[in-house]
Amino acid sequence: MDEIAPEYDVIVLGTGLTECILSGVLSVKGKKVLHIDRNDHYGGEAASVNLETLFKKYGNFQQGTEPWKAYGRPADWNIDLVPKLLMSSGELTNILVSTDVTRYLEFKQVAGSFVQQNSGSKATIAKVPSDAGEALRSPLMGIFEKRRMKSFIEWVGTFDANDAGTHKGLDLSKATMKEVYDKFGLEAGTRDFIGHAMALYLDDTYLDAPGKAPESIERIRLYGNSVARYGKSPYIYPLYGLGELPQGFARLSAIYGGTYMLNASVDEVLYDGGKATGIKATMGGIEPEMKFETKAKFILGDPSYFPSKVKVVGHVLKAICVLKHPLAGTGDADSAQLIIPQSQVGRKNDIYVACISSAHNVCPKGYYIAIVSTIAETSANHHLELQPGLDRLGKIEEQFLGPPIPLYEPLEDGTKDNVFISKSYDATSHFETTTDDVRDIYRRATGEELKVEGLREGLQVSEE
């Protein structure tokens, strides 16, 4: 067995997406990285697992039975533990392209993005309009409202934060998004789908926050640009599941000299004068186990490796469902996102439904995987909170619903103890907050801004 070096620049604990992007980038920048995971697979909380693993994780079957055998080969299933999609013009896409990790992955569009209006038996589902033309055709609005929406979207397209002439007479350092909506006379239902299905806010607190309008407009533009890029929806998705993403960045890191070790548990983080200096760890899965100790200038890790250094900031509810049919109301889309805005179902937080299928190589032909999620608002009966989403699924073949999932954030920024901890994957439907966290950790740990543009230029080789 090879030897572990006595010292690295960075030790990274956990192979979730945040950690793997950081490893990849740090390795490309010439840092010597040791990357460890206690699991025998890549991805941590952001892994994709097969159906057998999922049954065993949730334990929702009778001992001695093997219910997964009714669903084809377990290996044909790649079920995401975190339901997210990539914004096609978002920051993760940017990082994937800049680092050339796109070479290891294939992406497909998600076929549609939908929003629900009303609830119960009156619920209707409609495509989220992404441009002025779609706004005019959308069943979400009446004839006059369509025109108001069209002029709003056109304004968003020409808006320039630095050009007061485009600000419609509003003082955007103080204005709230509500005032912007008021300016265009938009109805409550329209505000709902703009704020929740386009700007992708999880709740309504953005409406009354002074000075937040430019951020909201930026989010609407990201949505519009992402739709414009490929045409069907703002989202793309990697074939074989999101678990491919951390693997791709881990490979990038390894190519630039990163050392990878799965099945390795951290026995102790070593400190000197309050600052982390290294780890003691054991690699299992081999006979005999390999115990080792090594040093590093700093340590990165996901919250599960530092339970005493993180706090719980909320809980996410999630039900993973196996279906044999597409989502109703989506035109038989092979993949879709459906957003149920909170106000439509009397909640404070939106309910998301993400649905993907064999078109994305995550399950055998004829199956669909739908994940219903939301932020927990009560302390019991969580299935009731998800019910408006579950109602949209029709017949459910299998349902995996666990206890509320705690969301963690680090207590400190890491500069005191040289331990830089990532945040849990939040309830948003995309990875924009994940890449924010990557940038934030990079800045805290290295003291520099992360610039991914042109990262690999100069190290590229011509071929053939």
Partner 1 sequence: MEANLSACPTYHAGAEPHPTSILDPRQQSPDNEKPAAPTSSHPQLQAHNDHTMAEAPKPSSSVKLVLLGEAAVGKSSLVLRFVNNDFQENKEPTIGGETLTWHATAAAFLTQKCNLPTRTIKFEIWDTAGQERFASLAPMYYRNAQAALVVYDLTKPTSLVKAKHWVAELQRQASPGIVIALVGNKLDLTNESGDADSEGADGDESGDARKISTEEAQAYAEEESLLFFETSAKTGHNVSEVFTAIANAIPETSLKSTRGPGAANAVSRGGDEQRVNLNGPREAAKEGCAC
How far apart are the C-alpha atoms of 88 and 226, rounded to whole Å? 5
6 binds partner 1 (CB under 8 A): no
How far apart are the C-alpha atoms of 119 and 330, rounded to whole Å? 17
Q: For residue 124, what are the β-bridge partners?
A: 117
**Nearest approach, Cβ of residue 316 and partner 1 (Å):** 26
Q: Which helix (H) or strand (E) holds 370?
A: strand 368-375
197 binds partner 1 (CB under 8 A): no
Give whichever of 292 and 402 is closer to partner 1, judged by the CB atom.
292
CA distances from 448 to 256, 276, 289, 420, 434 (A): 20, 20, 38, 14, 18
Site residues for partner 1, 365-384, by CB under 8 A, read 365
Give whichever of 196 and 232 is closer to partner 1, judged by the CB atom.
232
**Nearest approach, Cβ of residue 53 and partner 1 (Å):** 12
Residue in 181, 201, 256, 431 binding partner 1, rule: CB under 8 A: 256
Contact 209, 177 (CB under 8 A): yes
Residue in 74, 214, 314, 364 binding partner 1, rule: CB under 8 A: 364
How far apart are the C-alpha atoms of 353 and 114, rounded to whole Å? 10
CB burial of residue 464 (10 Å; 0-12, 13-18, 19+): exposed
**Residue in the block written with tokens 């995550």:** 362
Give whichever of 78 and 373 is closer to partner 1, judged by the CB atom.
78
**Nearest approach, Cβ of residue 193 and partner 1 (Å):** 16
Mask: binding to partner 1, 213-242, rule CB under 8 A, as x and -? Answer: -------xx-xxx-xxxxxx---x--xx--
52 binds partner 1 (CB under 8 A): no
312 binds partner 1 (CB under 8 A): no
Rg (CA), the chain: 23
Give whichever of 150 and 347 is closer to partner 1, judged by the CB atom.
150
- Within 10 angstroms of residue 63's Cβ, the number of other Cβ atoms is 5
85 binds partner 1 (CB under 8 A): no
Give whichever of 364 and 394 is closer to partner 1, judged by the CB atom.
364
SS3 4: coil
443 binds partner 1 (CB under 8 A): no
User: How many residues of this chain bind partner 1 (CB under 8 A)?
Assistant: 78
- Within 10 angstroms of residue 144's Cβ, the number of other Cβ atoms is 10
Contact 407, 428 (CB under 8 A): no
**Nearest approach, Cβ of residue 188 and partner 1 (Å):** 23
Identify how many contiguous H helices and E strands the chain contains and give both numbers: 11, 20
285 binds partner 1 (CB under 8 A): yes
**Residue in the block written with tokens 């926050």:** 209
Residue 313 has phi, psi (to 5 degrees) of -115, 0
Residue in 2, 163, 287, 448 binding partner 1, rule: CB under 8 A: 2
Give whichever of 32 and 183 is closer to partner 1, judged by the CB atom.
32
Closest CA to 139 of 118, 155, 158: 118
Residue in 30, 64, 346, 403 binding partner 1, rule: CB under 8 A: 30
Give whichever of 210 and 285 is closer to partner 1, judged by the CB atom.
285
How far apart are the C-alpha atoms of 374 and 319, rounded to whole Å? 10
265 binds partner 1 (CB under 8 A): no
Residue in 62, 63, 379, 462 binding partner 1, rule: CB under 8 A: 462
How far apart are the C-alpha atoms of 401 and 392, rounded to whole Å? 16
**Nearest approach, Cβ of residue 396 and partner 1 (Å):** 21
Site residues for partner 1, 132-191, by CB under 8 A, read 132-134, 153-154, 156-157
430 binds partner 1 (CB under 8 A): no
**Nearest approach, Cβ of residue 451 and partner 1 (Å):** 14
Give whichever of 309 and 456 is closer to partner 1, judged by the CB atom.
456
357 binds partner 1 (CB under 8 A): yes
Residue in 23, 259, 330, 435 binding partner 1, rule: CB under 8 A: 259
283 binds partner 1 (CB under 8 A): yes
Site residues for partner 1, 98-137, by CB under 8 A, read 100, 102-104, 106-109, 111, 130-134
Contact 436, 96 (CB under 8 A): no
CB-hemisphere CA count at 13 Å for 219? Answer: 21
